[in-house]
């Protein structure tokens, strides 16, 4: 009994205000401790949905952090789908609240900690810095705009984290996009810097993901960057309307050329495969690279092409050996068949004759070589490829 009293005195039990109030009344039973349900695990998304920034069609933009969807209230949508708050005397200001850092990335955690210590700029300070950049190309002012808005870069990078593993790479690209926005922002347009910079940040992140998201890089186009994040949303919209998400339907929805849309869709839906991957039974030994047709010419065509080249080279050599005049040999070797031919003006100055006379001599040599080919190969030889303009 004494041991139990000592334990109770040393570690008093915490109770909620309602519990304490109920125990003060004599004879009232002590209520049970409240049951806290564990949060449900995060929903597993597919590959296409993972390419899109988290958003919500009903309650505003969603920031997916640690498996929980946090809906930001009091927001309005910009024309391109970006979300801003309705606060600020100088127009809408982008919400730059920094999301919590992950536990596994120490560098990202330290960067977020330092970025949150930087004081935010007021509208008047932003405008003063923007005027310095626009009117005087002040690089220090542009740097201040970027540094004091790193919260926005981190937030935008965190929204695209499901398409790239390293968050610091995304933060770096977002900062590069903000640096471009600092050079192009015009404070007299009545828009806060954050609202303007969000478009350039998104463009920079999209270009980075399209360039580095695959092992094999293909050229990026405006239609490709437009469809990179819109393709899953457009497909879901067409399916919800009872339409088949064909290439023509997607092109009509995004107002792009169907040929360009087909090229982008094939690239986004395709997956890389090793050319050394085994195809068929293991004992067959065939690889994927062996089954791909070669778009080049066949060995027979290459062999015939080499034979023609050797024949023409022999004809040219024998024709050059038969030239007796030194001037004709110079025109032939240094002007007509040279890899880097010299001009007729230069050759004419060497022999003290005009350019027109050198041109007449070159034309005479071309016709002589044509007769030489006919004599060697016969009168039925096709010579349309040989000096066709003469």
Q: 141-192, pLDDT tens digit by residue?
A: 999 999 999 999 999 998 888 777 788 999 999 999 999 999 999 999 989 9
Same domain, 124 and 202: yes
Number of domains in the chain: 3
Domain CATH code at residue 176: 1.20.120
Same domain, 86 and 207: yes
- 298 within some domain: no
233-252 burial, b for 16+ CB within 10 Å, e for fewer?
A: bbbeebeeeeeeeeeebbbe
Domain termination residue (choose one: 212, 245, 261): 212
Same domain, 195 and 250: no
Q: What is the pLDDT of residues 202-259, one digit of tens each?
A: 989 988 888 887 777 666 777 777 787 788 889 999 999 999 999 999 999 988 889 8
> Can you read off the two tokens belonging to residue 164?
């790239």
CA distance to 109, 129, 226, per residue, from 238 (Å): 41, 46, 17
| Structural domain span for residue 255 | 222-269
Same domain, 54 and 197: yes
- 71 within some domain: yes
Same domain, 207 and 256: no
Same domain, 99 and 175: yes
Same domain, 102 and 75: yes
- 21 within some domain: no
- Secondary element (H or E) of residue 75: strand 75-77
Q: Regarding beta strands 62-65 and 68-71, do their DSSP bridges make them parallel or antiparallel, or are they unpaired?
A: antiparallel
Same domain, 184 and 257: no
Same domain, 195 and 71: yes
Same domain, 205 and 250: no
Spatial separation of the C-alpha atoms in residues 185 and 174, rounded to whole Å: 16
Q: What is the DSSP string of 141-169?
A: HHHHHHHTTHHHHHHHHHHTGGG-S-HHH
Residue pair 98/115 in contact by the 8 Å Cβ criterion: yes
Question: Count of residues for the chain?
Answer: 390
Q: What is the pLDDT of residues 42-94, one digit of tens each?
A: 333 333 333 344 443 333 333 333 333 333 333 333 333 333 333 333 444 45
Same domain, 142 and 191: yes
Same domain, 208 and 226: no
- Cβ count near 187 (within 10 Å): 20
């Amino acid at each position: 009994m004494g041991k139990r009293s000592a334990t109770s005195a040393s570690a008093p039990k915490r109770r909620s205000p309602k519990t304490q109030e109920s125990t003060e009344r004599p004879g009232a039973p002590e209520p049970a401790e409240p049951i806290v349900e564990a949060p449900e695990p995060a929903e597993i998304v597919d590959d296409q949905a993972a390419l899109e920034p988290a958003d919500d069609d009903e309650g505003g933009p969603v920031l997916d952090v640690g498996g929980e969807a946090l809906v930001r209230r009091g927001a309005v949508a910009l024309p391109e789908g970006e979300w801003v708050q309705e606060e600020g005397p100088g127009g809408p200001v982008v919400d730059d609240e920094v999301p919590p850092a992950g536990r596994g990335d120490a560098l990202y955690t330290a960067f977020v900690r330092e970025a949150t210590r930087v004081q935010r700029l007021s509208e008047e300070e932003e405008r003063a810095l923007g005027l310095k950049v626009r009117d005087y190309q002040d690089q220090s002012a542009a740097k201040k705009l970027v540094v004091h808005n790193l919260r926005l870069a981190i937030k935008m990078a965190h929204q695209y984290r499901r398409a790239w593993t390293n968050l610091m790479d995304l933060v770096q690209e977002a900062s590069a996009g903000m640096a471009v926005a600092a050079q192009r922002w015009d404070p007299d347009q009545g828009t806060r810097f954050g609202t303007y910079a969000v478009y350039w940040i998104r463009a920079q992140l999209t270009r980075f993901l399209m360039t580095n998201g695959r092992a094999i890089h293909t050229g990026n186009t405006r239609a490709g960057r437009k469809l990179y994040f819109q393709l899953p949303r457009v497909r879901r919209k067409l399916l919800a309307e009872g339409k088949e998400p064909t290439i023509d339907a997607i092109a009509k929805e995004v107002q792009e050329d169907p040929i360009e849309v087909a090229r982008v869709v094939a690239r986004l839906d395709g997956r890389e495969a090793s050319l050394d991957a085994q195809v068929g039974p293991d004992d067959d030994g065939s690889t994927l690279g062996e089954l791909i047709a070669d778009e080049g010419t066949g060995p027979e065509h290459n062999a015939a092409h080499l034979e023609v080249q050797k024949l023409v080279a022999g004809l040219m050599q024998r024709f050059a050996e038969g030239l007796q005049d030194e001037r004709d040999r110079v025109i032939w070797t240094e002007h007509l068949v040279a890899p880097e031919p010299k001009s007729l003006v230069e050759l004419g100055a060497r022999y003290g004759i005009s350019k027109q006379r050198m041109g007449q001599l070159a034309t005479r040599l071309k016709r002589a070589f044509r007769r030489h080919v006919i004599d060697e190969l016969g009168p039925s030889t096709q010579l349309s490829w040989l000096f066709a303009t003469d």
